[in-house]
Structure 1
């Protein structure tokens, strides 16, 4: 089993529907997996994975699970007779923990014992789960029956017992408002993913492609990652499945799956579909009045505040910094509000848990939107506040893009990307460093904006987002309060008129 297989197995465990929704005691475990920066980690279960290589050599890996999972413990991985996982729950309990694989005496081990210890418990648990889910679906008394799409030949009992004739709204309402709030159960995600039909490609980038797909008559967005960007897929899947991110200004997550099509493996991330596309696309063809400009600005900062703020409690979430905020990673919804997408570079921080999870994605953010401290490499990589401050810099640039497309006195400017007049179309790291750090240039703010109360206020916010000193910049919460106050003042003026 390769290192990649171990990672994917860990992902399956983390997103398992058997994960507990309640807070469990955390234990300090011995950790020697590649992602551990120290010799220990903290989790709700300690584990030992033992693998028998083709040459007979036994390799053991120790670490911890962040969920109170038991389904994969003391069981063969994907039916592999040479891979087994054992779990325990106490400090350093996995230091000398042995697996059933170590205790077996070779090819003479009882086949009946293996079946009883591995297959039977899993089947009983699955049968119980399917019975409960089937009962819930029957109780809901669904009235809509949409055609099922299945070009993978998956077993019908999964669709009948878990998905039934539910719609996406039904599933998300049922599963994401109870329990841990971390999204659909893993089995439901895989079932939904295998029933999607790809309709048309709506976007391409360095990460791969985005397709519009259909699931039981409803549009969904399918982001298909290229093989070289596997870590971004893993990171987004990990965050969406372990963090409460359901918010109107964060792109809605539906499912994640590794599928096989045309004899090749594809990494899918399935989300809500928004017909207007990205803010970048929207601004190319759309202009707005100052009220519409303010609505876009408020919705984006609301999403950023939800990411940046840690929410405590069983239904809480750690703080998250985006690290690649730009107009292409923001989508425009039908109600003309925005939602933030693409969490492949996100950093997670928990003050209560005292950890900073930067991830191991080698991909960097978009150079055009990089803050000065990133370009001159003075950013404090051990400080979560530093990452939030880079998001604020990027938000100021997005605000500038929106403001340019706002009509003032019957006049509007063409859409342009930040620094369009001083760097090439695809600027290098050195190009941006010279302009932003050495020359200390900022996007031009036209004098005409001063004649509009809203754009004048937005221009002031932009300048305070672009301070060279990160600590001098506004926080997302402060920007949100300022914009909401501006919106309230505008609404009051309209009522008086």
Structure 2
């Protein structure tokens, strides 16, 4: 190794002398100091080499420190980048459901950032002030409403999270609080409920959706109309029905499903929507005796104009007890939207069976039970359901007493046509609705004739 003498001489300042002479030896520079007259005349500095044991140890220590610190530093940088990207994507997704939609609908004026005021308005006033498209409130109003809600009492709990009764300016609302792991369901429901022309008397009324922070914890809120009777599942366990109440419930459920399934064309149209998790726990009973369909977290949308199928990104699957045979057999055509509608109709048939069992005839009504209660466990597995529904091709049993009641006999025939093993043989939701409406009209006519007599 060659060595060149770069500088030689005396220091002009004591401070500079101390700093330079205390410089540690380095692979390429070596400082040698002495403190008597003309002492540096014949000094020849010698560089330390890799073979120098002391230098080798120092070098190894330096490399060890670099090797130890570098991965940690890289991980910190990657984690920071991931957090920034996640926050950016999250904002983009919120914009997708909110602000951009409001600008397109005219709910927000970009110039002065004006949104419809909440003020002393009722919820119905706010809905009426919206664009009239039948979708949700403008996004900024949704956030205003959400942050003015007081949670009163918990009224439900499930795998998705919790449901609370809340109050907004004295009005009751339902607040569905999603678990953080079920964020995709919250996004999907927000997206579906904000779909143009989705508002319908038999679809749960959507008010607002917001991501809020409570007790230093991020919560995902979905705020809807409140129905004190709760789910159809709970309602049927405590209530028996006469034929008229049964038909009112059944017709409204079918009406809600038809509205989801149908595509409405036009500039402010609506895509066709399949529910994918229809069951009595996802249907609410209103004070007027009708039902409304809720929980659209698994819904799939289809547009004929573009022939696109929007499945969303939710990995959740429907409830096993209500799964159609083609799902259990894993032979369903997932690329065809009609397949999803036929799955809904199968589940509708099971819900109609639940309702009809609670209808009194001859002073008798069956105790409430879920479908297949007598052949599978309370929490059935795929295999349990597959053996019964696919291999055994069993369906819920029809009580003998139904055969002596004209309305229940017609209901039994209708539900059998909903749960055919062959999906293509099942009725459409529209045909089910029309048949139920005809049955209801016959009942009303019979009631009028009896009153006349």
TM range (shorter): 0.7 to 0.9
Match of 1:129 among 114, 119, 124: 114
- How far apart, CA to CA, are the structure 1 residues paired with 2:344 and 2:86? 33
SS in 2 for 1:331: strand
When residues 18 and 271 of structure 1 are mapped into structure 2, their CA distance, relative to the original with a 3 A threshold, is closer
Q: In the aligned structure 2, how far is the partner of 1:361 from the partner of 1:236?
A: 11
**Of the candidates 85, 95, 108, which is equivalent to residue 2 of structure 1?**
85
The answer to whether structure 1 residue 221 and structure 2 residue 174 are counterparts is yes
Partner Cα separation in structure 2 for residue 127 and residue 428 of structure 1: 56
1:188 and 2:271 matched: no
Q: Where has structure 1 moved over 4 Å in runs of 4 or more?
A: none
In the TM superposition, what whole-angstrom CA distance separates every residue of 1:413-449 from its partner, at most 9, and x where no partner exists? Answer: 1100000011111001111011100111110001211
CA RMSD, Structure 1 to Structure 2 (Å): 1.6
SS of residue paired to 2:194: helix
Measured in 2, the distance between the counterparts of 1:18 and 1:412 equals 50
Q: Which runs of 5+ in 1 are unaligned?
A: 23-68, 72-123, 134-161
SS of alignment partner, residue 408 of structure 1 = coil
Superposed displacement of residue 128, structure 1: 5.6
Q: Which residue of 2 aligns with 1:12?
A: 95
Deviation at 1:219, TM superposition (A): 0.1
- Report matched runs for 1:33-432 at 5 Å: 125=110, 127=112, 129-130=114-115, 133=116, 162-175=117-130, 177=132, 180-432=133-385
Show CA shifts across 1:172-197 (max 9, x none): 122152xx432100000000000000
TM-score normalised per structure 2 = 0.78
List alignment gaps of at least 5 residues for structure 2.
1-83
Deviation of 1:485 (Å): 1.1
- Tell me how far apart the structure 2 counterparts of residues 423 and 251 of structure 1 sit (CA, whole Å): 31
1:11–1:238 contact (8 Å) kept in structure 2: no
Offset at 1:126? 5.2
Q: Cα offset for 1:244?
A: 2.1
Please say if residues 102 and 139 of structure 2, whose CA atoms lie closer than 8 Å, have aligned partners that are also in contact: no
Q: Which structure has the bigger radius of gyration? A: 2
Q: TM-score normalised to the size of structure 1?
A: 0.72
Q: Distance in 2 between matches of 1:454 and 1:468?
A: 24
In 1, distance between residues paired with 2:96 and 2:298? 22
Cα deviation code 1:7-27 (max 9, x no counterpart): 4423323321543239xxxxx
Deviates more, 1:287-296 or 1:485-494: 485-494
Instruction: Tell me the distance in 2 between the aligned counterparts of 1:410 and 1:432.
Output: 33
* Structure 2 CA distance for aligned equivalents of residues 176 and 270 of structure 1: 19
In terms of fraction of residues, the more helix-rich structure is: 2
- The answer for the alignment partner of 2:393 in structure 1 is 440
Alignment partner of 1:493 is 2:440: no
State the distance in 2 between where 1:258 and 1:389 align.
34
Residues 1:279 and 1:488: Cα distance change in structure 2 (over 3 Å): same
Q: How far apart, CA to CA, are the structure 1 residues paired with 2:87 and 2:400?
A: 55
Q: How many residues align?
A: 366
Counterpart of 2:104 in 1: which secondary structure?
coil
Give the alignment partner of residue 402 of structure 2, picking from 429, 449, 452. 449
CA distance in 2, matches of 1:188, 1:339: 24
> 1: distance between equivalents of 2:113 and 2:123?
24
Alpha-carbon distance in structure 2 between the residues aligned to 1:302 and 1:435: 30
CA distance, structure 2, for counterparts of residue 451 and residue 495 of structure 1: 22
